[in-house]
Structure 1
Amino acid sequence: MTALLTGLPQVDIILILELVGTFAFAVSGALLAVRKGFDLVGSLLLAGLAGLGGGVIRDLVLDSGVPNAFDTPLYLLPVLIAVLAVYLTLIRETRLRRTLLVFDALGLSLFCVMGATIAHDVGLNPVACILMGVTTAVGGGTLRDVVANEVPQIVNPEGVYAAPALLGAALTTLVLELGVFGALTGTGIVAVVLTLRLLALSFGWRIPRAAHGSGEERT
């Protein structure tokens, strides 16, 4: 693997991205459990689905053996820390109820970069790398929302979700193809995706509806 600008092997930076992204998504799951009035078991379930689901889907699609979430106990640590932090109210929803969405946005931005990078590393073509980056980014959050009986963020018209992940995965694939992926470029892409998602939430940006000119829900 190509060495990064920091001098660390690429696998190390990917591990860091995955652990931080797992924690961020797990926090969003635990916060949703609080909002729904679930117990600690429910919190662990939603946190685990959110934090590990995207990576499990990625590993199954890539046929890379036992998914990392089951093969390496280290991946369970961010989930447990997230559940504990929410339980002890070290992390909690604000009055604006934005905390969950902020952590979800952070996980989204990290996982789209990580998913595309891992797909590129196993030799997938650029289009497949982009799709795998998006799948990794949105998979866990979708599982979380479905189990909690929430409208999945990926189809929620109140804000853009998959589009920033698609852009992040595409930029990651581009810099990988150019051979200039590193700590600096990877961090920059994460920052771009995170900023776009947060701006979309703040300003109410939306993707056009499925039917042109449609406003209210059709019957």
Structure 2
Amino acid sequence: MRKPGSDTLPAVLAAGVLLLVAACGSGGDTAAPSPTPVSTPTSAPASTTPSAPASTPPSRTTTSATAVPVKLCTTTALKISLGQGDSAAGHFYVPVVFTNTGGPCRITGYPGVSYYAGGDHHQVGDAAARDAGPTPVLVLQRGQAASAWVNQVNVDVYDAAECAPAPVTGLRVYPPGNTVPVLLPEPGARACTKHMPDQRPLSVRAVQGGTDNP
């Protein structure tokens, strides 16, 4: 004789086994989530398309600064006078002084110098020979001066027949590079009226800065 409930226990156990098997089977058939692959960043290829130029302001027409050469000192822009002279051993040295009365100008080289006489201011004797020496380019501001020293030989040192001395009124002076002269009276001056090939009764130095004897 069976005890009550003895028929149901095996059935319950069997059902539990079937449920466990089903659960295990279900777990085995479900795929585990695969790991997400990590993408490795790669450097982007250099672009061959030129970049747009930076914006620039509209172009403007400009004029480059060009050094303007200082103009030549002209006769009309200069006060020309004789400075304080000095005598030495048969020579009389006197500076011709060029004082700028206008804007900046340049002066360089030798002035033209000769004796003149008479109402017509005719030239007497040879024009002044040039003494060798430096010829600086000088820029004179308004009021500044430069000078060229003139050497006048005492004509009495020459043979009178060769020299033929005569009184003169003064010196005719052309500033360097100019064709307009000035007349500078020189009381008591005398000059040789004849050409003497081997003598230099009148000579001049190039223009130098200031008025002192170089």
TM-score (normalised: structure 2): 0.19
Would you tell me which structure has more helix in proportion to its own residues? 1
Would you tell me which structure has more strand in proportion to its own residues? 2
TM-score (normalised: structure 1): 0.19
Q: Which has the larger radius of gyration?
A: 2
